[in-house]
Structure formats: C-alpha cells, structure tokens
Chains A and B, each alone.
Chain A
Amino acid sequence: MDTILKIEHLTKSLGKREILHDISFETYGGEVFGFLGPNGAGKTTTIKVLVGLLLLDQGTVSICGYDLKKDFENAIKNVGGIVENPEFYKYLSGYENLRQYAKIQGVGEDRIREVIHLVGLENRINDKVSKYSLGMRQRLGVALSLLHRPKLLILDEPTNGLDPAGIKELRDILTNLAHEENISVVVSSHQMSEMELMCDRVGVIVAGELKSVQPISELVASVAHDKCEKIFRVDAPERAAQILSENGFEDVTVTENSVNVLFDKASEDEITAKINRLLVHGDISVFNIADKENRRLEDVFIELTQREGGDQIV
C-alpha cells in the first residue's frame, strides 16, 4: 500500500484560537479513511488545509509525495474534494457546471460522461442546478471531484442529505473507487454507523486533537466490549438499587420496574449470579434477568468524543 496523504504535526490557528493541535496521520491508496469527530472538532478545518483553502501554520502535508506548501500545483493536481456543502452555479445545468471545471482541469467530454454515469445523474444532468435536491447536489459534487482522476478524494460529510439508498450507493461508489482504482478516499462524518460500513480505518478528532487512528472494528470493540449491562426486572426497583449500591455497585440505574447494572464484562456470569443472590436475600422478587441490547454505535461515539468535555461544544 502506497502512502497518498501524509500529515505531520499539523497545527492551525484561525484568528486567536488554535483550531488544530499537532495532527499527524497517513492515508493509503485503496482504503477509505474515516475522519470522525463531533461538531466543531476541526474536521472541515483540516480538510480546508488539505485542499489549499487554508494555509497551514506549522507542520507538513504531502500528497503523493509533493509538499503542499512548496509544490502546491503538483500536490493539488492529485486532490479532488468537497468542502462543506457542494455549491454550484445555480443558473447553470449540472453538465455545464462539470464542463466549467473540466476545462480548467483539462479533462475531456468522455470523462465528464463517465463521472455522470458513476454517480447516477444521467437523467437529470441537463437540468439547472437550482432545481436539484440536496442529494443530487451531493452526487454532482462527487462527480465534479472525480473529474480529473485524483489520487486523493476528500469528502466532507458526503452523506449529508442522502437517503438510505443514496448512502448505500455512495458507499458502493467510494469503496469501489478505493478498492478498484486504488484511490485514497477520506470521508469526514459524525455518524459512526456509516463509518462502520464504509471505512477501513478511522481517525477520531476531538477539539482539534487527533485521539486515535485505528481500523474501525478495533475502535468499536475497544469501547463497546469491556463492559456489559444487565436488566433485573424486580418488584421494588428503588430498594433494589439501594441494596446494590450498599454492596459496592456504582453504575446502577433505576427504571419503573427494573434496575440496570453496568459491570465488567470479564466476570459476567459470576457477577450476575451475585447480584441475583443479593436481591433475593434482600427480600426482593426478581422476575427476569436480561442483557441490555448491545450498546449502540452512537453511544460509543458519544463516549469517545465527549468523555471529558461535558456536553458543551468546545
């Protein structure tokens, strides 16, 4: 696998605020890299630096071996991308928009047709962009970014506005591009579930700092599988919770007809039995013991990104 994008110690300030702190990662041809982070984390800012809309303060970025700062033209030739929402000349047709860009990029008619086909816009390509839906604009944006056959394709929240079928199609397009044409695809998002299906590796960015870079499966496993939660349906949840906390259980939540207990997954069976004994000894009727549903990916995401920051945007 060849390195397409290499970011080293990227730092960026806008105004007085330092938005990005010392970010380093690499992406490779043939993979889809997910760039995950909550609102305001710095995803868009990072992408803007990568496509040359912002200058980098410190650190180096190289694309296909060309330094973005020293060799901008060669570096940027290999980049295609959408930053934030894809915006077009609304009074031009989708085709005209593509043509405008194709001319500057030195791309011919055939390639325009090819990318239109790729994103499935053939039927509506001659309509004015002002008549496009958000999803259609996203598709057009992808088509436009792909015109000049970039080695690095960067998409900022591309699934925004796509319907489930559209998301699946986009996923297929992107995985295809990566796996068949050996392109390095970078996709930013704050939707874990999408990431899980689309990405090979994920970088998590929180408040301008890159927390981790790892394969998606590891990421999900690392957060989701060290604890488990059991639901005890009982006749007196309040009293049950009191008994449990007296016996050293910390993560206990009370609902109308049950207590939920969170504990280490390692000794799952023993602890379940122990809790049951405690409750029965405490004269509480236990009707049912169940696993709480596997913790959802969104919870993992929230845990990952807001563990320290509370719920305020940083």
Chain B
Amino acid sequence: MSKFGLLISNEWRKQFKKKTVWVFLILTIVASLGFGLIFGAIESLDYDFEYKPSTTFAEDCDSEIEYYQVALEATIARKDSYMTEEEYQDEVDYFENAIAQWTFYKSLGIETWSDWRFSSGFAEELWNIKDEVSDAKFQEYLNGFKSKNIETYYRIAFADDYAQVVKDDRETANVWFADYCIEYNVIPTRNDWRYGLLLAASDAYASALSLERQQSLGFPIDESTLQKKHDAVTLATYRVENDIAALPSDSLTAYMGTSILEPYSGETSLFWDISVMELYLVSVIAIFILVLAGTIVANEYTSGTIKFLVLSPVKRWKILAAKYVTVLILGVMLLAGVFVSGLLCGLIFNASGARLVNVSVVNGVVKTSSPYLMILKQYLLSGVKILVIASLSFALSSICKNNALAIAASLGCYYLGNTILTIGQLFRLDFLRYSIFANMDFSAVVNGTTGFPHHTLACAIISVVLHMAVFLLTAWDGFTRREM
C-alpha cells in the first residue's frame, strides 16, 4: 500500500477504536432506519383508514327532510309574526323547495356521501336543470345518472361551454377538458388522480391559447412560458394515456417545495416520500461530521501524539490530507447509509414505488429520468453544505489546535447560518450575499430563497470554491508551517 493509503488506514483504525464513533454510527443507522419505518408505518395506516358513517345516505336525506319539515311547520305556525305576505311566502317556498330537493336526492339511489355523483355536484346539476329541459331529455339524463354515465355528467356540467358558438379561451379549454375526460372515462372526483391532473392541465391549455392569440395579434410574448404551458398539457395527457399515477418527483416537490423539479402535479409515492423524509436526517449526520472534522487534527495536539506523528519521514501535508480524506470518506459513508436506509424502508412499505420512473416534458419532448439520480442530487446538495462547514471546522482545529473552538464555531455556522443572514438582512447588509452562509445551500440559491435578489448559482459556486480554498489553505498552512 502507498504511504498515503497507510496514513488513511491508520486514521481509520484510530477512529474505529473509539467508542464514541461506534455509538454515533449505530445511532445513525438506528435513527435512519427507525425514522423511515415509523414514517412509513404512519403513512400506510392513513391509507387503510376509511371513514365509515353509521348512517346511509338515504337516512341522512330523511333527517334533512325532517329538519326542513319542522322548520316549515314552525314558519306556518308563526305566520302572523311576518311583516308581509311576501316574506312569509318566500320562507315557505324555500323550505318546500329544500324538502323537494332532498326527496329528489333520496330517489336517485345514491349510497354514500362519497359517491362521485354526489360529491362532484352531479346530483345538484340535475336538480337545477329539472325544469329547464324537456321531460324526455331529463329522463335521458336521469338514466345516465343512474347508470353512472360519466359523459352525461360532463355534458351537463360543461353545457354552457359546449353551447357557445364562439368560444373564448377558457371555454375552449373546458370543452377540451370535458371531451378528454369523457374519452378516458375520468371520474370527476379527487379520488381519481387523473381528474386533478387534467384540471390543472386545462388551466395550462387555456393560458397557452390566450398566449397564442396574443402572439397572432402581434403582441410580444414569452416563448418559454408558452412552451411550458404546452409541456404541462403534454405531460398530463402522456401520464393519463400511459396510466402513470405517481411521479417520484412529486414526492420531492410535495415535501420540499423545490422548484428544481416540476410543480407538484399529482399523486406521491410512499417509496419516494420515505426517501425524501430521510433527507432531513442529513442535518443529524452533519453534527457527527463537523465534530469529527474539528477533532481529528486538534486531538493530536491535545493528546501530544502529534510529536510522534510529525517525527516521521512523511510529509506533513500528507498527514493532514489523510485526515481530511478520512473525514470525507466517513461523511460519504454516512450519507450513503441514510440514503440506503431510506430505500430499504421504502421497499418494505411500497415496493412498487421503486420501479417508478420520472417523466418530464422539455420543449415538447417527453423524457424519462431516473429518480434515484434525482434524489442523489438532493443528497449531494446537502452534502455540499456539510463539506464547506467541515472544511471550516478542519481549518480552525488545525490553526487553533483547539477542538472545542472548532466544533462550536462550525456547529454555529451550520445551524445558525440562516439566522445570521436574516439578521443581516434586517440591517440591509447586502455584502452578506458573498458570505458562505448565503451560498453554501445550493438548493436555496436555485430556489431563490436566500433573500438576496439576483443571486445566481454561478455566483454561489464561485463563492463556495473560494471559501473552500481559503479553509483548506489555512488548514494546510497551520499544520505544515507551525512549530509544535
């Protein structure tokens, strides 16, 4: 083995002979597995849970009718107390109408409240048009209702849109939506993931139409916005046509609200939900890595063992580099451990989610990508933050020979960085945009949540690279030049 390899293996042995290191490693594994298992269990329980009312829909209709009956009788009994005949009549009409309406609902043969024909407003629509259409037509609708015919629903619900001879953008989009739902038999309820998805798509459809019309009239428009609207529609129809209920990216978007990914557009998958939740454990690992980086050099000074270490024919910078690499390896191992625990727990609760592929549409072209890479990217982004602060910790412990200081300072920077930024912004200290706190969280920079306007990723990367260079040079300088 090379000298450098030997140095690393020495560091490795030293770390793994310490009880504290073992305790932390085991805690990390227990925490990440436990976290995933508990989260998965709770979520799965939720899926199984269904509210079972003790009464049937018909019984509920009866009690509604009874209620209005009582109210009606009370009104009749208090007839004299009304100022005018008209007011009295209005009141009586209202109650009679309500009684008739609930009687009608009861006659429709609905079994539960959650029947889509009731929750979507189908029954109400039917009641409303009762007197407006011919009896034959109404009978046809009624039959459609009873046979749970989806087309009937959309025809009634979007009747106005269908009826327009010259349609505006919204009406065109609605007709497109209704036709599409009829074609793919989309049940108008949130329980059918396609319904919400297509509703959102119809908004995009309308916006696209409006943009195109502006364009044809010679107004300047944002081409990329138009393209995005088209892409949203393409993605939605692609998913409906290929029956892709859940996208792994939706799990990420739903939990993290990051615009690195497309907006949340449908169902999440428990498999990926768990993996995303595990990302929160990264800040726990950060403690360990920061402590390790802050002690691995300083401990040699406090224990006095540095004397033997430097009294050897090995260049000092190599000793230092071996320590840094050891921290890096341990950090990556811990991150990988959390990542893998997330996947394992996901497999336990929702194995099918593991096969999900992320679908996106870019410039009209449907693309599939691996969600594993996507979540790995998230881990890497969080890893950058740890790496930066660990380097700071490393540098401090190398120049101050004091682990307490290095640990305190780096934990402070890691956990209070955002607070410092917020306070700085209160005092309008715009130069803080160049500080490490504003730049080390790449996802915040991309999302524009750092609080500084015009903060670009390129600027953040340059800042981070410069800071890292300063930290590592300081560590190197402190360790190699210093007299012991």
Contact = CB atoms under 8 A, between A and B. Distances in A.
A204 interface: no
Nearest to A53: B484
Contacts of B307: 51, 53, 82-84, 87
Nearest to B312: A104
A122 B484 CA distance: 32
Q: Considering the complex of A and B, which 5 residue pairs feature the smallest CB-CB distances, nearest first?
A: A87-B304, A53-B484, A103-B6, A54-B483, A104-B312
B9 interface: yes
B14 A76 contact: no
A105 interface: yes
Interface string B472-484: 0000000000011
Given A48-B484, A96-B17, A104 B305 contact: no
Interface in A177-211: none
Nearest to A144: B308
Contact of B304 (A85, A91, A92, A100): A85
B10 A104 contact: yes
Contact of A100 (B10, B19, B303, B311): B10
Contacts of B19: 91
A83 B305 CA distance: 11
8 contacts: A52-B311, A80-B311, A88-B303, A88-B305, A89-B305, A92-B14, A101-B308, A103-B9
Contacts of A85: 304
A91 B311 contact: no
A11 to B, nearest CB: 15
Contacts of B14: 89, 92, 100
B348 interface: no
A105 B10 CA distance: 12
A101 B307 CA distance: 11
Given A53-B310, A53-B311, A76-B313, A89 B303 contact: yes
Interface residues of B, number: 24
B303 A87 contact: yes
A79 interface: yes
B303 A90 contact: yes
B173 interface: no
Nearest to B7: A104
Given A53-B310, A76-B311, A103 B305 contact: no
B348 to A, nearest CB: 37
Interface string B5-25: 011011001100111000000
A233 B462 CA distance: 91
A192 to B, nearest CB: 27
A44 to B, nearest CB: 11
B431 to A, nearest CB: 36
Contacts, number: 70
B213 interface: no
A104 B3 contact: yes
B313 A87 contact: no
B466 interface: no
Interface in B292-312: 303-305, 307-312
B483 A101 contact: no
Nearest to B10: A100
Given A52-B310, A76-B313, A105-B313, 9 more contacts: A51-B307, A53-B307, A53-B484, A82-B307, A87-B303, A89-B17, A92-B13, A92-B17, A103-B9
Residue among B6, B307, B484 facing the most chain A CB atoms (10 A cut-off): B307
Contacts of B483: 48, 53-55
A303 interface: no
A132 B42 CA distance: 53
B314 interface: yes
A163 to B, nearest CB: 23
Nearest to A48: B484
Nearest to A81: B311
Contacts of B7: 104
Residue among B9, B19, B309, B484 facing the most chain A CB atoms (10 A cut-off): B484
Nearest to B18: A91
A77 B313 contact: yes
B17 A91 contact: yes
A299 interface: no
Contacts of B313: 73-74, 76-77, 104-105
Interface in A62-110: 73-74, 76-77, 79-85, 87-92, 96, 100-101, 103-105
